[in-house]
Amino acid sequence: MRIDAYNAISQTYGAKGKYKAGAAAKTSSADKVEISDFGRELQVAKQAVAAAPDVREDRVSELKSRIQNGTYSVSGESFAEKLLAKYEEMRG
């Protein structure tokens, strides 16, 4: 039950009776929030990722047609090189 959880938290942190309803609502007019340049850049990056499609349909359809036509071939050596490069990149 929610009340039990609140009581348990209050007892854990010793907050019993210290906080009153509405106390958090009082704020100074001088309160100010500043977002760093990194925070702004991060927000822009998040928006760009959210706007990007999960699947590149144009690339998928091209590859599907090449596979169906039998014109798609992968060099085993090229694949192995890319796989090892990715592994090395992940290891740092």
**Which tokens sit at 58?**
């144009």
**Which tokens sit at 45?**
């990056």
13-42 pLDDT, tens digit each? 665 455 555 555 566 678 888 999 999 999
pTM of the model: 0.35
Q: How many CB atoms lie within 10 A of CB 86?
A: 10
pLDDT of residue 1: 47
57-82 pLDDT, tens digit each? 999 999 999 999 999 998 999 999 99
Cα–Cα distance list, 26 to 18, 20, 23, 31 (Å): 16, 11, 6, 11
